Amino acid sequence: MVKMSDVAKIANVSTATVSRVLRSPETVKENTRKKVLSVIEELNYQPNILARHFRRNETNTVLVIVPNIMNTVFSEIVGGIEQAASISGYKVLLRNTNRDVRNEYEAIDHLKQRQVDGMILLSERLEKQTILNISQQYPVVLASAYIEGLKVPTVSIDNISSSREATEHLIKLGHKRIAHICGSLFSLISRDRVKGFNQAIYQNEIQMESVLIQEGDFTFDSGYNQMLKFLALDVPPTAVFAANDEMAMGAIKAAKENGLRVPEDLAVVGFDNIKFSSIFEPALTTIAQPKYEMGKKAMELLLEQMKGVVHTKSQYVLDSKLIIRESCGAKMAELV
Amino acid sequence: MVKMSDVAKIANVSTATVSRVLRSPETVKENTRKKVLSVIEELNYQPNILARHFRRNETNTVLVIVPNIMNTVFSEIVGGIEQAASISGYKVLLRNTNRDVRNEYEAIDHLKQRQVDGMILLSERLEKQTILNISQQYPVVLASAYIEGLKVPTVSIDNISSSREATEHLIKLGHKRIAHICGSLFSLISRDRVKGFNQAIYQNEIQMESVLIQEGDFTFDSGYNQMLKFLALDVPPTAVFAANDEMAMGAIKAAKENGLRVPEDLAVVGFDNIKFSSIFEPALTTIAQPKYEMGKKAMELLLEQMKGVVHTKSQYVLDSKLIIRESCGAKMAELV
DNA sequence: ATACTAAATGTAATCGATTACATAATCGGC
DNA sequence: GCCGATTATGTAATCGATTACATTTAGTAT
């Protein structure tokens, strides 16, 4: 392995100069710089990055903690992160937690051991206090979940308002009996979406029964199963708001299998706007999250933090948008 | 920052002993070990991993190069890689290339600079010779594309045979005019799938016209558009084999919009078995790739390579399987 | 030409764990 | 209790780039 001292010797300069040519070329006279560069070329010298990391105590790497990379919502956020990171010469270390807190703690060790310069947390199993602690010591950005009152840089959408908007959309279409299939309630996102749903219901003085809220786990099957419960009610709902698109699709499948037409007999709204929600039949009305942009923004915030920029603002709420397609019946209504 | 020498001083031993306690505890007497461990505990000592990486010239990190992490086929493979990696204490550095070769070359520099101990390549833009070169110098595993005659450890399915099987399935169902929507032909996978398609056609002495093979780019829209071309033919095909599920769905959409029923008027088979293919209506008949397992196997091979194990076998072909659902009409045929 | 400032380069310490080699402690057998 | 073998521990060099500080060179004004 060619090392810096080899280059220095042949170029007839000191290693300090070689180092400067690489890290702050403007401080080296042009002649010298050219000479050094040509020797580097000639010897095909590659700096030992590990030595640099060690000496500088930084790695140009960020850790991304994801519950499950196989979920398209997360993989799109990661896509945005990766894009922003690589533009700035940063690398992305990916850690799947499979929703196990122990894996999250392990991941935090990477931070403590300086294996990464910062961390983006897409996960939500850690205690509020733990997150606060580490974010006071290391650059950390949360993405996807807004935690009330937590002064840690966060990129998210407003889950409460979006859910309210989705639900109000159903109310405006004339529905009076509206159900909600929420995600696992240990997740803050799910709780927020329930909150928004309830706000819409109460503000519009719609009748509410607790049986009209059922907990799923964000999977297609859980959407299907919870819908079956609704259908078994004496008076089933005429509209369902599901906390994500997958469950919305499951609910629609259950409805169809029971002879209901969507949207004619049952209106459905989902959340996330995953790729397939437009392909699905009926095309899903849903709340679009700017997933890729959330990732990008999160990485940009992290970059600034790592540079030492201190933000007064800590919560970045990106715009979400209700996308009206077929499953809610609005388009059908227009035609009438 | 507490360092090893601090621990050594307080425990009244040398740094060598502390290091041994951490790296090969069995070589240290129990008393000493306990004493050292308790001091480590007491001081809350965290070894400086960067120093270790530097000294040992290894990082316990592998690089995964992916065309696009937002594509579920790749994110599932990455899921398998991550799982196998974290079990063995390895970290995963993720690099999206967006199908730009320059990004692949950049990624290779990481290997040369020893920033990672090995690499898994899910991408296919590099020259055969380039891949061979780097794989002779560093631990490398290819996943997803089998490159004929290339002696580099590879995990893949048999794309040719699988395509043949998919096509023959359509032939057995009585179709005589079968079309193929292939993926971008710069991709080896696409070319292999075309090959398998052709084999089935010729071996069964089915009529063939070159207009019955159209090139898409693995997107829903391209499937839709190519299907429109087929529908515009004087004698349109009665069956279509698409090189991935997304294009199959696009094709089905186009068919439906033109008044055809699937599978009654048009049989369709896809490839990949992405999650949504079972939800789609009609549920897609498709070739299931063991994506997660491919990732896992690739990582396991890489781990062995990094340990120095030399394999005589270099191509690992995992089982793929034809999953018969609704879109091909086989179930309908059974009922008759 | 001189004196002074600014720019360019060099010298050598430094980051902290690992490990080859050297030394010391322990054990077993007689 | 002594010797050789084995096991445990210590000493100190080492990995290679970075950078504080020292020194030299170039540039400018008088």
The reply to whether A159-289+322-335 shares the fold of A57-158+291-320 is yes
| Residue A335 pLDDT greater than 70, yes or no | no
Closest partner CB to A82 (pick from B59, B86, B94): B94
User: What digits encode the pLDDT tens for the residues A153-181?
Assistant: 999 999 999 999 999 999 999 999 999 99
Of A49, A91, A109, the CB nearest to B93: A91
* Antiparallel, parallel or unpaired: β A140-143 and A91-96: unpaired
Tokens of A2: 């060619």
pLDDT of residue B128: 86
Residue B334 pLDDT:
66
Neighbours of A156 (CB within 10 A): 23
Summarised one tens digit per residue, pLDDT across range A215-269 is 999 999 999 999 999 999 999 999 999 999 999 999 999 999 999 999 999 999 9
CATH code of B4-47, in short, is 1.10.260.40
How confident is residue A147, by pLDDT bands cut at 50, 70 and 90? confident
The four Cα atoms A104, A109, A115, A121 give a dihedral, to 10 degrees, of: 30
**Domain A57-158+291-320, CATH 3.40.50.880 — does that match?**
no
- Please tell me the distance in Å from A201's CA to the nearest CA on chain B: 31
What's the mean per-residue pLDDT of chain B?
Answer: 93
Interface check B83 vs A, CB under 8 A: yes
Q: For residue A334, what pLDDT band results from cuts at 50, 70 and 90?
A: low
Q: Determine the Cα angle at B206 with ends B202 and B209, to 5°.
A: 85
User: Which bases of strand D have any atom within 7 Å of the beta carbon of a protein residue?
Assistant: 7-12, 14-20
Q: Is strand D in 7 Å reach of the CB of B27? A: yes
Q: What is the pLDDT of residue B274?
A: 95
Predicted confidence (pLDDT) per residue in B244-271, tens digit: 999 999 999 999 999 999 999 999 999 9
Strand partners, B286: B270, B323
> Does the domain spanning B57-158+291-319 belong to CATH 3.40.50.300?
no
Q: Give B210-237 pLDDT, tens digit per residue.
A: 999 999 999 999 999 999 999 999 999 9
User: Which of A183, A274, A280 has the alpha carbon at shortest distance from A222?
Assistant: A183
B82 vs A47, A72, A96: nearest CB: A96
- Does A145 have pLDDT greater than 80? no
Is B188 near chain A, with CB under 8 Å?
no
Domain ranges in chain A?
Answer: 4-47, 57-158+291-320, 159-289+322-335
pLDDT digits (tens, 9 = 90+) for A198-209: 999 999 998 888
Q: What share of chain B is helix, strand, coil (3-state, %, to 5)?
A: 50, 15, 35
CB contacts of B59 in chain A (<8 Å) are 50
Number of H helices, E strands in chain A: 13, 12
| Average pLDDT along chain A | 93
Residue range B159-289+322-335 forms a domain whose CATH class is alpha beta
In angstroms, how far is CA B55 from the centroid of its own chain? 33
pLDDT in tens, A9-61: 999 999 999 999 999 999 999 999 999 999 999 999 999 999 999 999 999 99
> A279-301: per-residue pLDDT in tens?
999 999 999 999 999 999 999 99
> How many angstroms separate the first and last alpha carbons of chain A?
76
Residue of B nearest to A110 (CA): B49
Confidence of residue B151 (pLDDT cuts 50, 70, 90): confident
Tell me the pLDDT band of A313, cut-offs 50, 70 and 90. confident
Q: Nearest CA to CA, how far is B3 from chain A (Å)?
A: 12
CA distance B81 to B104: 19
For residue A36, give the DSSP letter: H
Q: Is the Cβ of B19 closer than 8 Å to some Cβ of chain A?
A: no
Separation of B96 CA and C6 C1' (Å)? 46
Helical H runs in chain B?
A: 4-11, 15-23, 30-43, 49-56, 72-87, 101-112, 128-137, 159-172, 188-203, 220-231, 245-257, 291-307, 330-335
At residue A308 the predicted structure's pLDDT band, cuts being 50, 70 and 90, is: confident
Distance CA B74, CA B291 (A): 8
